[in-house]
A and B are shown apart, each in its own frame.
Chain A
C-alpha cells in the first residue's frame, strides 16, 4: 500500500515538475515550436510540454481549465477574448508571427499560376481540404479567399473540413484530396507538393499572437519562454520557417 502511494506520489510530482512550461500551440506553428523548443532547451534549463490543436479548440480547453501556461494562437481574436474573460494577461499579448496562406496541390504545377488559372482549377476540383473555419484561423482565411473568388458557395459540397490545419494537410499528404488551403510553413519540409501563395488582400491578415495565461504568471519556465520567443535566436527560426515577422515596436 505504501509503495503504491509512493508510486502515485512520484507520478504526481513528475507531472507538476517546476522547471517545465505547458505550451498550447495552434496546429500550424507546432513544427516551428518544436524547433524553438530544441533551441530553448539548449539555452535554458527549462523544459516545454507541447499540445497542438486548432486555436478555437485550445481556447475552449483553456476556458474549461486546461493546465496550459502559454498560448501561441493563430489569430489575435482568441488571445484578445482570453484577456477579456480574465484567463490571459493583457500585457503579455503580442504578435509573434504573420501567417502566409497557400493553395497546395499534389498534381498541378502552380509555380506560374494566376488568379484566372486558380479559379478555373478550383471550380473543377473534386475535393478541396480546408481547416474548419469556425475554429481554425487559417480555415477562416481559406473561406475568405474562396469568397473572394466567388467559389465559397458553389464549392460547399466539395470542401473537406479538417479539424485543424494539420488534418487538412494530412488529407493532402495521404492523397485523399488534390487541393488544400494550408499555411506555408509546414510545406517547407515536404517534397512533391506544388503551392501558390494566396495574395494577401484575399484574406484578413493572420496575426498570430502569443499570450501568457493566468496559470503561467508564476511559472519561471513560461516566463523564460515568452522572453526567448522575442530573442533574435527565436525570430531567426520563425522567419526561416515561412512566417513573416511583425514590425518591431
Chain B
C-alpha cells in the first residue's frame, strides 16, 4: 500500500521532528526562562524575534537560509570547514530550518508557564540551600511539566507539518530530504492521488491525535494563553 519512498519519507520526517524537538527544548528552555524573568528593555524585541516565524511566510526564512547555506557564503564555509560536508540539501540543513521555524511553538508555552511559577517558592528553596540545578529539577520541572509536554508536542507536530521552508531548501532528495509534506506534494503534482490520499489522511489523523493529547493533558486555558501571548 505504501511505496518505499513514502515509508522513507515518514521515517525521515519523524527523525527530523524528533531531533528538532530535542534541540528546541535544549535551546528554548533557557531562552523562555530569560524571557519570563528578564526586565531588560530589549525583551520585547527578543519576544518579537521569537514570534516572527508565526507571521512571516516560510518563503522569507527559506530564501535567507538558501543564501546562508550556499558553500560560498560565510556560514556555509564555516559549516564546510567544521564538518567537511556542504550544508545545502542535507538533513542538518532541514534541522536548522525546523528549529528556527518551530521556535515560537516551544518557547511561548514554556515562557507562559515560567511566568506563572510562584517566585516565593523558588526564593524559599534558595534560602534552604537548594542550588540552581536542585530548584530546576525539584520545582520548575514538576510545576511546568504540562507546558514542557505541550511545547514538545507542538514543536514536534509543527515540524512534521512544515512545508514551505523544506520546499525551498530541501531539494526533494528521496531518503535524504524528501519529508512527508514534500512527498505528498510530489504525489499530488504528479497526479498520484491514491498515494496522496494515504499520506494526507495519515497526516490528518496523526496531527489530530497529537493535538487531542495535548489539549487533554492541558487545561485549555493554558494552551490558548500560550498561543495568544
Measured CB to CB, the residues of A under 8 A from B are 54, 56-57, 60, 126-127, 129, 132, 134-135, 156-163, 170-171, 174-177
Contacts and interface: CB of A to CB of B under 8 A. Distances in A.
B99 interface: no
B11 interface: no
B166 to A, nearest CB: 11
Interface string B159-177: 0000000010001111110
A227 B47 CA distance: 57
6 contacts: A56-B191, A132-B189, A157-B175, A157-B176, A170-B66, A175-B72
Contacts of B175: 157
Given A163-B172, A171-B171, A176-B89, A134 B70 contact: no
How many chain B residues sit at the interface, stated as a range, is 20 to 34
B162 to A, nearest CB: 16
A27 to B, nearest CB: 13
Contacts of A126: 86
Contacts of A158: 173
B67 interface: yes
B190 interface: yes
B186 interface: yes
Contacts of A163: 167, 172, 189
Contacts of A176: 66, 69-71, 88-89, 171
A69 B189 CA distance: 21
B188 to A, nearest CB: 8
A101 to B, nearest CB: 19
Given A135-B189, A162-B171, 8 more contacts: A134-B186, A157-B173, A160-B171, A162-B172, A163-B189, A171-B88, A174-B70, A176-B69
